[in-house]
Amino acid sequence: MKIIQLQLYVLICCHAAVSDQLTDSGSNVTINCDLDENEVYWILLKTPDPPTVILRSMSTTSSPFYTNETFRQKYSVQFKHCLVINNVTADELGVYYCMNTRTPPKLSNSTRLHFTESTQITECHNQKVVNNIDQNQTQWQIIIIIISGLMNGLLLIVLIGLFKVFIVGNRRSAEESQLNTDLQQKRVIEEHQDQLQYAEVDFSKLRRNIHSSQINSTYAAIKLPKS
């Protein structure tokens, strides 16, 4: 195959006869081979790509030999080496040659396949529409990513704030509970102290009362009756 490509380079460089064939997108196109040969190669040239050998057509069989199975969906052969292109797209545009398989190799007149002007305008318009759609989708994707990032950041800030409020609230509740407990304990201690002081005062009074009573009783006991 490399030898065939080298031969094609040399022959194409020396070959100048090119005819134009117009077509519309989606149409079927037939390209004739003007070589009187039993076997030929069909070649596609799309600059700046190297020549591509599509198939080898043989008059002894109706089924050609494809160099790539993907070509089978697009290319076929009718009559004597007539190449048929099905549902033409921009990928099939280029210069087509047929070449004999013998030595020395010989090329047919080439056929340049391209779209009509209206089709080219439509293709350009469709491509522009597709590019605009892709650009708009990209912009919307960027906007959605930015909004999503902002929402996630805001949600994170809210969660952190709620967490801090919860922690601070629990701490304040614990401190207030501890403060109330300390105040209650302090009040209980002060009440006990007041009761203890009051008991001491009462006890001293009781002792004085008891002492006076004992003195009066003793005095009454030793007091002699008058004669």
CATH classification at residue 45? 2.60.40.10
What is the predicted pLDDT for the residue at 168?
76
3-state secondary structure 91-137: HHCEEEEEEECCCCCCECCEEEEEECHHHHHHHHHHHHHHHHHHHHH
Q: Are the beta carbons of 126 and 25 closer than 8 angstroms?
A: no
What is the predicted pLDDT for the residue at 68?
92
Is 102 domain-assigned?
Answer: yes
Is 202 domain-assigned?
Answer: no
Q: How many domains, in total, are found in the chain?
A: 1
Q: What would the two tokens of residue 115 be?
A: 């779209």
Task: Determine the structural domain holding residue 85 and report its residue range.
Answer: 2-115
Is 54 domain-assigned?
Answer: yes
- Global pTM? 0.50
Output DSSP code: residue 63: S
Q: Are the beta carbons of 119 and 26 closer than 8 angstroms?
A: no
Q: What would the two tokens of residue 76 be?
A: 């076929």
**Number of continuous H segments (helices) and E segments (strands) in the chain:** 2, 9
Q: Read off φ and ψ for residue 50, nearest 5 degrees.
A: -70, 165
What is the predicted pLDDT for the residue at 176?
75
Three-state DSSP class for residue 39: strand
Over residues 132-182, the pLDDT tens digits come to: 777 777 888 888 888 888 888 888 898 888 888 888 777 777 777 777 777
Three-state DSSP class for residue 167: helix
Is 18 domain-assigned?
Answer: yes
Is 173 domain-assigned?
Answer: no
What is the predicted pLDDT for the residue at 1?
55
Q: Give per-10-residue mean pLDDT for the chain (227 aa).
A: 54 67 92 90 88 88 87 90 92 91 84 78 63 76 87 88 81 76 76 59 53 52 52
Is 72 domain-assigned?
Answer: yes
Closest CA to 104 of 17, 8, 213: 8
Burial class (CB in 10 A: 0-12, 13-18, 19+), 191: exposed
What is the predicted pLDDT for the residue at 92?
93
E strands in 32-106? 39-45, 52-58, 65-66, 75-78, 82-85, 94-100
Peptide linkage before 50 cis (omega within 30 of 0): no
Q: Are the beta carbons of 46 and 81 closer than 8 angstroms?
A: no
